[in-house]
Structure 1
Amino acid sequence: MPLNFREIHGDLFSASSNTSLAHCVSRDMSMGKGIATLFRDKFGQIDELKSQNVPIGGCAYITADDRCVFYLVTKERYFHKPTMTTLESSLRVMRDLCMKNNVHHLAMPRIGCGLDKLNWNQVSKLIQHVFAEDDIEITIYTI
């Protein structure tokens, strides 16, 4: 079954408990601004994330509340900006982790498009391209 991609208005953290979550972070895992602060406060485990030593273009993850929480590492420091190339690399790693961990429901904000300033139309197409052949439902939450 191919990708089921949809966008809805609502609170990302209201996604059902069997839905894994994802967002973008810097390699330093500072998570001091934007939606990253909500992930930091809700899920913690910063030392675990840092210990994974994920490179730019990779994806760290933790298990919390019986679901995976993915941290797409798209830049070195929190004040840097990602590129479509680093985002694509992180998405591909996350896709592989989803398949490995039997994740079929994934929710995320408009990744890379808030403080990171990427173009949502391009990012949306990229996500759909990367996951096109996968049996996964991806829901994008906007407020």
Structure 2
Amino acid sequence: MVTYINEGDIFYIPGVNNYAHGCNCAGAIGKGIAVAFKEKFPKMYQEYKQLCRNKQFTPGNVYMYNYGEGMVFNLGTQQSWTTKATIESVASAIGKMLLLAKENQADKIALPKIGAGLGKLNWESVKQVIDKQAAAYPDIALFVVENFKG
């Protein structure tokens, strides 16, 4: 089930303690909502940078980080901050995230509109991918905040 929220802060949705966001695979976090993830989860950021440095985090993959109270799903949506996201990478990463969520009993996940900000994809196309992937996991609720206000 996907709930689209026009505006809000993904970190303050009642009952949700699992989060996801789109990432480049170059280890750079300097813009957008990713900066909030970097500040909120500094250990995760260090691990993410190392995975990228070692070429162990690539487009279409997911780096799941357990922060003790929930999970953060880092979705590889683009190769670097200078390249666009691809719809194939978004689809692959969303599918892998949902499988990991199921395996780890993460039944609610909040995320921003991935791939359509700095990734430059068409948001309506990304929404179709999210809806299609989520349909296979009806027990996982996705809360997509379309306009982040933190």
> Structures share a fold, TM > 0.5?
yes
Q: Give the aligned partner of residue 127 of structure 1.
A: 130
Letter of the structure 1 residue corresponding to residue 21 of structure 2: H
Does residue 6 (structure 1) correspond to residue 3 (structure 2)? The answer is yes
CA contact (8 A) 1:106 1:137 kept: yes
Q: Give the aligned partner of residue 48 of structure 2.
A: 49
Q: Give the aligned partner of residue 30 of structure 1.
A: 28
For residue 74 of structure 1, give the secondary structure of its aligned residue in structure 2. Answer: strand
For residue 135 of structure 2, give the secondary structure of its aligned residue in structure 1. Answer: coil
CA contact (8 A) 2:22 2:76 kept: yes
Displacement, 1:17? Answer: 5.6
* Per-residue deviation, residues 52-99 of structure 1 (Å, max 9, x unmatched): 422221000211251100110122212211110111111111111111
Structure 1 gaps of 5+ residues are none
* Per-residue deviation, residues 100-136 of structure 1 (Å, max 9, x unmatched): 1111101101111111111111111111111202111
1:12-91 correspondence runs (5 A): 12-16=10-14, 18-45=16-43, 46-52=45-51, 53-91=56-94
Query: Which of 86, 100, 118 is equivalent to 1:97?
Result: 100
CA contact (8 A) 2:16 2:110 kept: no
Task: Give the whole-Å Cα distance in 1 for the aligned partners of 2:62 and 2:20.
Answer: 10
For residue 115 of structure 2, give the secondary structure of its aligned residue in structure 1. Answer: coil
Letter of the structure 2 residue corresponding to residue 34 of structure 1: G
For residue 105 of structure 2, give the secondary structure of its aligned residue in structure 1. Answer: coil
For residue 62 of structure 1, give the secondary structure of its aligned residue in structure 2. Answer: strand
Q: Give the aligned partner of residue 142 of structure 1.
A: 146
CA contact (8 A) 1:61 1:71 kept: yes
Kindly report the root-mean-square deviation, in angstroms, between the aligned alpha carbons of the 2 structures: 1.5
The percent of aligned pairs where both chains have the same amino acid is 30
Task: Give the whole-Å Cα distance in 2 for the aligned partners of 1:124 and 1:77.
Answer: 22
TM-score (norm 1): 0.89
